[in-house]
Chain A
Amino acid sequence: MDSSSKEVLISNGKSALHYWREVWQSRELFWILAKRDILVRYKQTVLGVAWSIIRPLLTALVMVFAFGKIAKLDEDTSIAYMLVVMPGVIVWLFFSQSLAQISNSIVGNTNLVSKVYFPRLIVPLSSLMIGLLDAIIAFGLFVLLCFWYQYIPDWKIIFAPVFMFLAYMGAFGFGLIAAVLNVKYRDVGQIIPFMIQFGYFVSPIAYTSELVQTNLNQTSYGDWFYLLYTINPVAGSIDGLRWSLLGDFSAFNFQSFISLVIFDIVTLVISIRMFRKNENSFVDYI
């Protein structure tokens, strides 16, 4: 590459001329920052990467115990409740972890942002890789559990990455808005963990959207509450993943799928615009 011919223009309110090309050219930095996060994560731990298996496994076991055995939600399911819970756990851990990482990504990398130039988008982008790795490991766990329960998912499994991608986009768009705001308003850093805690209960992790719909239909304004419920991008992602992984267990939920896609597009457009508008002045407020 002939870099000497490249001219850079620095002025107010303009991010780089060839913004996306520059992001692409920084892919080595992207990988190395992702690698840093992953390497650092289990330094000085005894169990190391095993934690990536223990976390989803324990979460799923607690869910099966609390919702399956105590709340007796497992009585009328055709397949093992563990397998019903797993897609929920995979999406939820992926989404919540990514959201936490990305919303803190700019502030957490102050030392880089205030000392060196690079396309700032690299930081939030790379902070998602750690969650992705966890999701892949959790997916491997699901496959093992399928062997254990002697269950064979059908051809729809090929759509699983689509729903993971949509969950990723939801976390990215929403988290990126939070990351930009977090630079000026550290309140965001306080809100996100709370939202994650809250989201745990309103997302169909250990129960199903069908159950929610059935129960809400018995109340007045049930449709409105259900609409509100499906705005949560996690709901759409989990419904979709269950549809793709669990054979005939659950039908395709168009309502939650469509609101997931809308959520992704809207947050992505807003967040990228916000980010580009503010990225050059991060250091003045951080």
Chain B
Amino acid sequence: MSVISVNNISKKYIIKHQGKQQANVKDAMSGFTNALFGGRNKVEDEEFWALTDISFEVEKGDRLGLIGSNGAGKSTLLKILSRITEPTSGNIRMKGRLASLLEVGTGFHQELTGRENIYLNGAILGMRRTEINKHFDAIVDFAGIERFLDTPVKRYSSGMYVRLGFAIAAHLEPEILIVDEVLAVGDADFQKKSLGKMKDVSNSGRTLLFVSHNLTAVQGLCNKGAFLQHGKLKSFGEVGNVINEYVQSVSKFKLSQTWATPEIAPGTDDIRIKRIEIRPTVELKTSYIDVRIPLKIELEFWSMIEDADLNISVFLYTMAGECIFNIGSNPKNMKKGIVRGEVDIPGSFLNDGSYYLSVMIVKDSATPLFFFEDAIAFEIQDFREETAWYGKWPGAIRPLFIPVNTWQQELL
């Protein structure tokens, strides 16, 4: 049975341009009277479609994860579903009591005490007084603010504030729960707690709509996914497939580069790069690389030097530009021709995140012949099993100490 049925939802916003914005008194007056009497504005403004023609169904008990880049329309869709704003066209049918949690502590008043704010926030989220009374002790306990119950929340630390806000929301008992990126706030401990609570919600058979940039959390919590791009629904269905498609579409990384002739290839008079590639060494079940997958870096270059001791060196960086490691091969005597080298990056070594790498070709272990910077960029997705925690795993590497084969090189 579908509890939410979204039919051809579109949402238009009017973007006012600074220059045109009621430049004279006459325009301003006509805008004002039109607002009063419901006429149309003569001033032409640019239309922006935040959502176009979105349709999907959510079954009872589904946990739907909404994913997409910034500006894809996720928040607009949530706002329409939460009835905060109306769609420009289309309609939504919804069965059951709905609560939306677009931020933690909505409507908290700084001057009021913790106790007063529990009742205020509860009522705003749609709880009845009797319900709040029933859960009052549990809320206070969950938030851990017993001692400060009668202190105005303006004196709370930001941590206490967020905990109290979440504690109230966590004790809502709606049939449909809509949650926006609330997990982005708070420390790791709080994120763990809140995700655990969301898991409870989903396990209890209620319907959950969840927006997050944290794909790990979406994967762990949701059974269905919806991928929005530029206001359109790109894909909808089983969460793994949807995440696949999303990751593929946003990945702007170059996993290989090839040059046909030395003339156009990057390099110097001594060295010209022919090909550089990073690829998984096992067959992938997904369309992306996750933390378990072993990788191989391959490099081919034209060597124009008759006879030299060459070695190759690779530098791996995080997106922030921090070097994680540098491995060089042993120098090897090479004739003129095409030289090929490869190095393995074992699976379960790098953490999830984005990386780029540079390679350097060195002569006689001392003279750099060519430093090929930012040669390749790639992204590693998270993978976790049997865990209740989906926060970002810290660090650039996540090693499971596996013996490493370093550079091999040969003359082709």
Q: Once the chains bind, are A185 and B35 in contact (CB under 8 Å)?
A: yes
Query: Taking the nearest CB of chain B, how far is it from the CB of A70, in angstroms?
Result: 41
B13 interface contact, C-beta 8 A: yes
Q: Once the chains bind, are B111 and A13 in contact (CB under 8 Å)?
A: no
CB contact list, B86-100 vs A, under 8 A:
86-98, 100
Query: Taking the nearest CB of chain A, how far is it from the CB of B243, in angstroms?
Result: 27
Q: Which residues of A contact B100 (CB under 8 A)?
A: 116-117
Bound CA–CA A29/B94 (angstroms): 22
Q: Once the chains bind, are A115 and B35 in contact (CB under 8 Å)?
A: no
A215 interface contact, C-beta 8 A: no
Q: Once the chains bind, are B93 and A7 in contact (CB under 8 Å)?
A: yes
Q: Which residues of A contact B23 (CB under 8 A)?
A: none
B19 interface contact, C-beta 8 A: no
Instruction: Report the count of interface residues on B (CB-CB < 8 A).
Output: 45
In the complex formed, the residue of A with least CB distance to B79 is: A283
Q: Which of B120-128, B143-151, B187-195, B328-336 contacts A (4 or more CB under 8 A)?
A: B120-128
Q: Once the chains bind, are B94 and A11 in contact (CB under 8 Å)?
A: no
Bound CA–CA A36/B117 (angstroms): 9
Q: Once the chains bind, are A9 and B92 in contact (CB under 8 Å)?
A: yes
Q: Which residues of A contact B36 (CB under 8 A)?
A: 181, 274
A71 interface contact, C-beta 8 A: no
Q: Once the chains bind, are B85 and A281 in contact (CB under 8 Å)?
A: yes
Q: Which of A39-47, A79-87, A163-171 contacts B (4 or more CB under 8 A)?
A: A39-47
A253 interface contact, C-beta 8 A: no
Q: Which residues of A contact B123 (CB under 8 A)?
A: 28-29, 32-33
Q: Which residues of B contact A113 (CB under 8 A)?
A: 84
A3, A6, A32, A40 — most chain B CB neighbours (10 Å): A32
Q: Which residues of B contact A11 (CB under 8 A)?
A: 86-87, 90-92
Q: Once the chains bind, are A7 and B97 in contact (CB under 8 Å)?
A: no
Q: Which residues of A contact B119 (CB under 8 A)?
A: 32
Query: Taking the nearest CB of chain A, how far is it from the CB of B381, in angstroms?
Result: 32
Q: Once the chains bind, are A4 and B175 in contact (CB under 8 Å)?
A: yes
Q: Once the chains bind, are B97 and A12 in contact (CB under 8 Å)?
A: no
A14, A184, A280 — most chain B CB neighbours (10 Å): A280
Q: Which residues of B contact A13 (CB under 8 A)?
A: 86
Q: Once the chains bind, are A44 and B111 in contact (CB under 8 Å)?
A: yes
* In the complex, per-residue mask of B75-115: 1 if CB is within 8 Å of any chain A CB, else 0: 00001111111111111111111101011001101011000
B394 interface contact, C-beta 8 A: no
Q: Once the chains bind, are B80 and A40 in contact (CB under 8 Å)?
A: no
Query: Taking the nearest CB of chain B, how far is it from the CB of A19, in angstroms?
Result: 13
In the complex formed, the residue of A with least CB distance to B126 is: A118
Q: Once the chains bind, are A184 and B109 in contact (CB under 8 Å)?
A: no
Query: Taking the nearest CB of chain B, how far is it from the CB of A44, in angstroms?
Result: 7
Q: Which residues of B contact A44 (CB under 8 A)?
A: 111
Q: Which 5 residue pairs spanning A and B have beta carbons closest together?
A: A11-B91, A117-B83, A280-B86, A10-B92, A32-B123
Residue pairs across A and B with Cβ atoms less than 8 A apart, 14 shown, are: A4-B95, A7-B94, A8-B83, A28-B129, A36-B112, A36-B120, A39-B112, A115-B102, A115-B103, A116-B124, A116-B126, A118-B126, A277-B38, A284-B13
Q: Which residues on B are within 8 Å of A, measured CB to CB?
A: 13, 31-32, 35-36, 38, 79-98, 100, 102-103, 106-107, 109, 111-112, 116, 119-120, 123-126, 128-129, 152, 175
Q: Which residues on A are within 8 Å of B, measured CB to CB?
A: 3-14, 28-29, 32-33, 36, 39-40, 43-44, 111-118, 181, 184-185, 187, 274, 277, 280-281, 283-284
Q: A28-B128, A40-B109, A281-B85 are in contact. List 13 more A-B contacts (CB 8 A).
A: A8-B98, A10-B80, A11-B86, A12-B90, A28-B123, A29-B123, A36-B112, A43-B111, A115-B107, A116-B84, A116-B102, A117-B82, A185-B32
